[in-house]
Amino acid sequence: MASRGDATRDRLLDATIQLVRDVGYAQTTTRAIAQAAGVAEGTLYRHYPDKAGLFAAAVGRQSAPVTAWARDLPARAGAGTVAGNLTDCLTRLATLRTDIVPFELAMLTDPDLGRAAAAARTAEPGPPEFLTQYLQAEQHLGRIRADLDPAKIAVVLLATLFGLAVPSQRTTDALGGSWPDITDAVHILIDGIGTPARPDDTARPAADHR
């Protein structure tokens, strides 16, 4: 059975996540969090040293299901297709990470939050490491080019996922209202943007996405 302190911390985290979703990080104050959680603001500070510490704990809470799902990714190497696996992976991560994106954006603009989140992060592997392991396994099977660094591919994929999750209105308008989805991104990464090689060209081996 959870202790009274654990229950209070859970309410504070729930309130933090909901408020960030509703009004954004900048507008989410400790007073508003305490009020939404049904506790005094002083109670909040008995459980967390400051706002950054509370938000870092919320990031950890939201990241847990993402990491849990990604842990099984390396075992999928060799099954299906690389393109299909990556599309499924990024789609699932995008769904699980919906509530994390506002915090990730906040970490880019608030150094205190970034430091607190880094300090709270464990040494356990997360999605970047599991995605890298999957790509390494596919590389060993010959389904990804041997001259590419799996860790760098993972960074490109996750950076693309982050970029797709936070389109700016200005960019969307410039694209005529269209915005690439995850399938588009994987297709571009796997197939590249070059024109098909002529028969007399020396083609570089591409990822197996048959």
The share of the chain scoring above pLDDT 70, in percent, equals: 79
Residues 138, 136: Cα–Cα separation, whole Å: 5
Q: Band of the pLDDT at 60, cuts 50, 70, 90?
A: confident
Tens digits of residue pLDDT in 66-86: 888 889 999 999 999 999 999
Q: Which long-range contacts (CB under 8 A, 24 or more apart) does 178-182 make?
A: 182/87, 182/90, 182/91, 182/94
For residues 116 and 127, which has the higher predicted lDDT (pLDDT)? 127
The residues, ordered by sequence, that sit 6+ positions from 88 with a Cβ below 8 Å of its Cβ are: none
Residues in CB range of 159: below 8 A, 6 or more apart:
none
Q: Is 7 helix (H, G, I), strand (E, B) or coil?
A: helix
The least confident of 109-118, 131-140, 148-157 is 109-118
Mean pLDDT confidence for 172-193 = 68
Q: What's the pLDDT at 122?
A: 63
| Predicted pLDDT of residue 172 | 47
Which segment, 39-53, 98-112, 165-179, is predicted with the most confidence on average?
39-53
Two tokens at 44?
């909040």
Which domains are assigned to the chain? 1-48 (1.10.10.60), 51-191 (1.10.357)
pLDDT at position 194: 63
Report pLDDT for 67: 86
On the question of pLDDT at 160 being above 70, the answer is: yes
Does position 210 have pLDDT exceeding 60, yes or no? Answer: no
Average pLDDT value for the chain: 80
pTM for the whole structure: 0.70
CB 48 within 8 A of CB 57: yes
* Residue 184 in tokens: 């588009």
Q: How many residues does the chain have?
A: 210
- Please identify which residue in the block is written with the tokens 């969090």: 33
Per-residue pLDDT tens digits for 121-145: 666 788 889 999 999 999 999 999 9
193 vs 146: which has the higher pLDDT: 146
